[in-house]
Structure 1
Amino acid sequence: MNRDTESMQCRPPAVAGAFYPGDPLALSAMVSELLAAAKPMSLPHQPKAMVAPHAGYIYSGGVAAHGYRSLQPYADEIRRVILLGPNHRVPLAGIAAPDVSCFRTPLGDIEIDQEMISQLADKGLLQINSLPHHQEHCLETQLPFLQKLLSNWQLVPLVVGETAADDVAALLEEVIHEPGNIVIVSSDLSHFHEYHEAQRIDNHTSELIETLQPVIHPQQACGAFPLNGLLQLAGRMGLRVITLDRKNSGDTAGGKDQVVGYASYAFV
């Protein structure tokens, strides 16, 4: 298949019916309920960036909803979402953007900003590689929240493999200052520790994030590579991190013997 033909395609949902409902009405109702249940937090300014978790909605959807609820006052101003998350399925070095025209969820199609992707690729800041996106859930799980929240917007979806914080920060610096843009990093926290041990680990990780220290390890947060790039740039920009919500699967829908941590943060 040549590039021109592939670029006309829409990336179909990979985890609809598993991580979130595959039925459009059920999905719309679930996201609306999660947003309505989230306690609104008034932010001093429109966030430049946000971090949100990406597990199944019964586990992390409430924590993610706290992040997206905080964006509601600014929804009409957001025109482009630069969405970054880790590679769970395919080995990857660097940052990969897909060669497709849209991403599809049960709620509809989202237009990809192919022009911005081409500009970033021309500057050597990312590679065009659809393979890491085919079965990846970390970006897809954010999309129904964004679809319920935003209108008239475009998506720049990026899977980030093993990548230096400097390289991620260089890409983000190209996009974060433009009005109407927001950067969202998709990441969970620690994985499969006993409840109290997970709390201890996640407390430390959260302190590093809140103090803008780009030294997060993948064992602390699966999205460590994009997260460290954001933290590095946020430190240079003088941004402040506000923790919007933090729980683990033992608090939501799972047992306490092996839990996964979740948190939402706003960068203002």
Structure 2
Amino acid sequence: MNSIRPAAVAGSFYPADSAQLAREVRQLLSAARPTTTAAVPKALIVPHAGYIYSGAVAAQAYARLRPVAGRIKRVVLLGPVHRVPVRGLALPGVLAFATPLGQVALDIAGMAAIADLPQVCVSGAAHALEHSLEVQLPFLQALLGEFQLVPLAVGDASSAEVAQVLARLWGGEETLIVISSDLSHFLPYGQAQQIDSETVRQILARRPPLSHQQACGATPVNGLLAFAAEHGLQAELLDQCNSGDSAGDKSRVVGYASIAFYPAKQTTKEHDDEQGKTLLQLARAAITEHLGGPGQAHPERSWLHKPGASFVTLTQQGLLRGCIGSLEAHRRLIDDVQANAVAAASSDWRFAPLRRDELAGTRIEVSLLSATEALIAASEQQALEQLRPGLDGVLLEYRQRRGTFLPQVWESLPDPADFLAQLKRKAGLPADFWHADIHLARYSVTKWQETGNE
């Protein structure tokens, strides 16, 4: 097995001479329109035709990364197979990809993190002549410098299978997701404009599925759209054209678009305050009713009926009295908060059930959890280096064992090594245990606590 996948389309899709290629990429990036927003893309959809056709559109997306280029250390790159069919998502079975600008090392730990998924395979043949991934690399090399790559050639796969891989590799600000796809193929200019505009509207609305007549990379795009819709990512069109605009022939054109995806915008403080007050009232009312007190009408808030994951924590005079929660959004937020509040009061195995006469002296805290982001670590030391004390809630999974600490736990365990050791104990593992099959993920929390006994 070769350890390096050599460039296959240098000299056809882009210049084979390193100096000429560097100059062309630099010129394309310099010509990109300046952005009017400070938002940083987490994921990009970019075209993969020859640079003469789609290079300017691709550059418009990559130029958005300039302010954060130094923070991006890993690129997860998905593109469709054009020559060799494959079932699922194929890794290349090499250690590096080469272009005229040099070699890009592959992220071994990242690839290992998805190797157990049944839809992930290894196919050197699928990668050998595939251009959809290769043409993105010179842009990334010119912009990011040193980074590691997880290249996936996507064949026959469902949106859910692609989204599952993205969830494993999503990471934090160190990771960029790139989906390589053109739009419609070989239609007359006017018809292509009409179809591509509708496709872009569908992408911006995060509304899969796209067909392969709409986009050759429909499979990875659909996976990203499914993930984006579930996690509230916002999409923005950066540029759009077709080969009739860039190369002149309008009889049979190929469509191109670059689209950025951003994390969900933070809510305003006013909304946060109103949301927190509502959730605390819901939790207290649920416990009161469970203990035989009067019921209370539920507030009419549309956001309460969307899926949500929450933890409800009870304390008495600053000491823990119960804590139960959900790590994943699997039911309506209103149902999740009410169920977890009752469970914290009655089903936390560490404490006797809360009595009705204790409720007045019990303080309630409600935490809302973000979606989890996988931490890719080949060793315990790498895991510790990625933890952010005071910010990260951490989920640890090892085979059938599972444990989590909310970010609040950092207050009593501020040292990352102690934090992780105690989390392993909570999951039923020795504090000094480590294994390659340990999976870690982090999440953030927005929390509200009663200021008095309400």
| Structure 2 counterpart of 1:158 | 152
| Residue 234 (structure 1) aligns with | 228
Does 1:172 pair with 2:185? no
**RMSD value over aligned CA atoms?**
1.1
Map of 1:104 onto structure 2: 98
| 2:125 corresponds to | 131
Q: Which residue of 2 aligns with 1:3?
A: none
**Cα distance in structure 2, aligned partners of 1:116 and 1:231:** 22
CA offsets, 1:76-101, max 9 Å, x none? 11010000000001011210001101
Is the 1:169–1:230 Cα contact (8 Å) retained in structure 2? yes
Code of the aligned partner of 2:187: H
Whole-Å Cα distance in 2 between the matches of residues 174 and 125 of structure 1?
13
Match of 2:28 among 13, 28, 34: 34
Residue matched to 2:258:
264
Is the CA contact 1:75–1:149 (under 8 Å) kept in the aligned structure 2? yes
Q: CA deviation at 1:42?
A: 3.8
Deviation, structure 1 residue 125: 4.6
Paired position in structure 2 for 1:243:
237
What do residues 127-162 of structure 1 show as CA deviations (whole Å, max 9, x unaligned)?
A: 112110000000000000000000231000000002
SS at match of 2:131: coil
Q: Runs of 5+ in structure 2 lacking a partner?
A: 263-454
CA distance in 2, matches of 1:178, 1:242: 20
TM-score, normalised to structure 1's length? 0.95
1:80-99 pair list within 5 angstroms: 80-99=74-93
State the SS of the aligned residue for 1:22: coil
Contact 1:189 1:221 (C-alpha < 8 Å) held by counterparts? yes
Q: Which residue of 1 aligns with 2:136?
A: 142
Query: Which structure has the larger Rg over C-alpha atoms?
Result: 2
| Identity percentage of aligned residues | 49
Task: Check whether the contact 1:246–1:262 (CA below 8 A) recurs between aligned residues.
Answer: yes
Matched residue pairs, number?
A: 262
Which structure 2 residues correspond to residues 188-227 of structure 1 after superposition, within 5 A?
A: 188-227=182-221
- Whole-Å separation in 2 of the counterparts to 1:47 and 1:201: 26
Structure 1 unpaired stretches of 5+? 1-5
Deviation at 1:214, TM superposition (A): 1.4
Distance in 2 of aligned mates of 1:65 and 1:98: 26
Deviations 1:147-179 (A, max 9, x none): 000023100000000210000001101111333
Q: TM-score normalized by structure 2?
A: 0.57
1:187 deviates by 0.2
Whether 1:255 and 2:249 are equivalent positions in the alignment is: yes
Q: Which moved more, 1:100-109 or 1:112-121?
A: 112-121
Distance across 2 between alignment mates of 1:160 and 1:27: 27
Residue 306 of structure 2 corresponds to: none
Q: Is the 8 A contact 1:107 1:147 kept in 2?
A: yes
Q: Helix, strand or coil for the counterpart of 1:65?
A: helix
1:12 aligns with 2:6: yes
AA in 2 matched with 1:83: L
Does the residue aligned with 2:166 lie in a helix, a strand or coil? Answer: helix
CA deviations 1:102-124 (Å, max 9, x no partner) are: 00000000001122112201243
